[in-house]
Structure 1
Amino acid sequence: MRINDSLADEEQFLHGYTFPQWVLALGDGCLKTRSFRQDTPADWMQIPQVFLVDHGGDPIESLATDIYDSFAENYKNPLYLANRAVVTPTNATVSEFNKYMLEQVPDPGKTYYSSDSLLQTTETVDSFEECYPTEFLNSLTFNGIPDHELTLKIHTPVMLLRNISLGLGLCNGTRVMITSLGNDIIKGTIMGGFGDTDEVIIPRIVLNVENPKWPFTLKRRQFPI
């Protein structure tokens, strides 16, 4: 994809080319860079105005309105949701955007809390549990690991963070629309691709988390979404 039809003329991308083509040229290094002052490196890239969303004071709301137009009428439609996605550079923005979209769903929500503890090993020091209480463990967030607190609603899509059942299509990255919220399991239907519309069950699982910042391994039992 990156070597086919790669165009180096930036002006062509500013007049009539699609967003995917512009992103491809950006990744291939075909677009010119600029600097604000003569004594600074040319490490700034101009994004064509046609690809920008006018945030009007609230960027999250403006982005949601632009991507998920007519959301109130279509939030139960799997095809509508499967054809839309927002990619962000940080997990903090993901959480902020997800919270806003969840508030737009009129159905009641249910909150699930993880069970966090320290993995017991021969190197574990007894004082670790005193130094790192459960409340502290609950506050930790990691890339690719569900948060301690998950608030979900029926008819909302979630994405799996682990391979659960390859045969059923429950793989890392699979999107599922929630149809039922139990105490220990979540039911839903796979959105798009293999196994579309098949009802599946998502259980809580234990995830071991290691981070060089902390001298312990965290055990978090939570839904892998």
Structure 2
Amino acid sequence: MSYASSAMGGCYKNFGFVEVVRPFGRKVVVLGGDFRQILPVISKGSRADIVGSTVTSSYLWKYCKVGDGTIDTIDEDETTIEIPSDLLIGQGPDPLLELVNFAYPDLVANLESDSYFQERAILAPTLESVEHVNNYILSKLPGVEREYLSYDTPCRSDEDSEVHAGWLTSEFLNDVQCSGIPNHRLILKEGVPIMLLRNIDQAGGIMLGKTEYILRITLTPSDSGLPFKFSRRQFLVTLCFAMTINKSQGHSLSHVGLYLPMPVFTHGQLYVALSRVKSRIGLKVLIVDEQGVVSTSTRNVVYKKVFENV
């Protein structure tokens, strides 16, 4: 779906002359997007905060005209949906292994193939579930595990904060997990695929096929949601067998395994996850309920208010 700002605008009279209000400096601006996908991410924001941050809630939306595209009518903000049987997986004694074998067939034989990993992924709703899948796959691979631990320290600027300094022990900081920084404990095996959490050489251009040394870097989370700040010195890499649904937005893959140990929690996540794959035969879904039992249904979340002005 695309939408463009209108060339016309409102007008008002002032001291005998008329000034025409034309948004975007009288230029036509084309915006592309799909309101069925994930909306802007607002840290700790409510549903109203998220809806209010969308372009349809902007004062400029009245100047826009919606182009090609269709919007499905949504009856409920949250609804339970049944997944078609041909998309489900997990009937054996180890459901997660079935999903891994579907997404990564002949994994050991393809560990050194770049194109193999560019075409497939396992998606999950949270960082915790992604870490669980990555560690599970790592445990199934041959080789010796290498453990790399971070060095965590509280920031000096927080010495006078409300948080008691005695609480910020190394052991406490080691357990903190934040988006955008690596975990305290990083376990790897030779040959496993990893990805950088940040671009550490933006001026380097295309690095495909080149060998580079990755050093430990000290980072301070910009918005961890914690009442204190700390720094972590660690390698900026993580295993990449699995990724969050939010991170997968924009990818187009041939094989996708969707792992749902819990339902999606915000607008558009289920839609994004199911639409990452190029064809239906390249998708399998594993749904596990709170008791660890494989299920055939899951929750979908859609904010109806987003579509009111479309």
Normalised-by-shorter TM-score class: 0.5 to 0.7
Higher strand share: 2
Does residue 220 of structure 2 align to residue 166 of structure 1?
no
Question: Structure 2, unaligned stretches of length 5 or more?
Answer: 3-33, 38-69, 238-310
In structure 1, the residue matched to 2:183 is: 147
Cα separation, partners in 2 of 1:29 and 1:69, compared to 1, 3 Å: farther
Q: 2:168 is matched by which residue type in structure 1? A: Y
2: CA distance, partners of 1:78 / 1:72: 13
Match of 1:53 among 71, 85, 89: 89
Measured at CA, do residues 195 and 211 of structure 1 come closer, stay the same or move farther in structure 2, by a change above 3 Å? closer
The answer to whether the 8 Å contact 2:216/2:234 transfers is yes
Of 118, 124, 135, 1:82 maps to: 118
For the Cα contact (< 8 Å) 1:119–1:217, is it kept in 2? yes
- Output the amino acid matched with 2:236: P
Q: Is the 8 A contact 1:204 1:222 kept in 2?
A: yes
| Cα distance per residue 1:147-183 (max 9 Å; x no partner) | 00000112111111112001334xxxxxxxxxxxxxx
Decide which of 142, 150, 161 is 1:114's aligned counterpart: 150
- In the alignment, which residue of structure 1 is the partner of 2:260? none
User: Structure 1, residues 176-195: CA drift from partner, whole Å, max 9, x if none?
Assistant: xxxxxxxxxxxxxxxxxx33
Query: Structure 1 vs Structure 2: percent identity of aligned residues?
Result: 29
Cα shift readout 1:84-142 (whole Å, capped 9, x = no counterpart): 21221111111111111112321212110000001111x52398431221101001111
1:63 corresponding residue in structure 2: 99
**What displacement does 1:219 show?**
0.3
State the SS of the aligned residue for 1:150.
strand
AA aligned to 1:216 is: F
C-alpha deviation, 1:221, in angstroms = 0.5
Instruction: State the superposition RMSD in angstroms.
Output: 2.8
> What amino acid does structure 2 have at the position aligned with 1:104?
K
Determine if the alignment matches structure 1 residue 92 to structure 2 residue 134: no
How far residue 212 of structure 1 moved from its aligned partner, in angstroms, is 6.4
1:207 corresponds to which of 219, 223, 229 = 219
Q: Report the equivalent of 2:53.
A: none
Given the superposition, is the C-alpha separation of residues 156 and 29 from structure 1 closer, same or farther in structure 2, using an over 3 Å criterion? farther
The 1-side partners of 2:134 and 2:211 are apart by: 23
Distance in 2, Cα, partners of 1:42 & 1:113: 41
Tell me by how many angstroms 1:72 deviates: 2.4
**2-structure distance, mates of 1:64, 1:48:** 20
Aligned residues: 173
Q: Is the 8 A contact 1:114 1:149 kept in 2?
A: yes
| d(CA) in 2 for partners of 1:93, 1:29 | 31
Q: Give 1:78 shift.
A: 2.3
Larger RCO (CA under 8 A, 6+ residues apart): 2
- Give how far 1:213 is off: 4.5
Contact in 2 for aligned 1:210/1:216 (Cα 8 Å): no
Q: Structure 1's 30 and 83: CA in aligned 2 closer, same or farther, altered over 3 A?
A: same
Mapped partners of 1:212, 1:162: distance in 2: 16
| TM-score for both structures, normalised by structure 1 | 0.66
TM-score, length of structure 2 as denominator length: 0.49
Report the equivalent of 1:102: 138
- 2:299 maps to what in 1? none
Give the SS at the match of 1:125.
coil
Unaligned runs of 5+ residues in structure 1 are 4-23, 35-40, 170-193
Task: Note closer, same or farther for the CA distance 1:200–1:33 as it changes in structure 2 (3 Å cut).
Answer: farther
Hey, what's the Cα distance between the residues in 1 that align with 2:216 and 2:104? 30
Q: Cα offset for 1:59?
A: 3.1
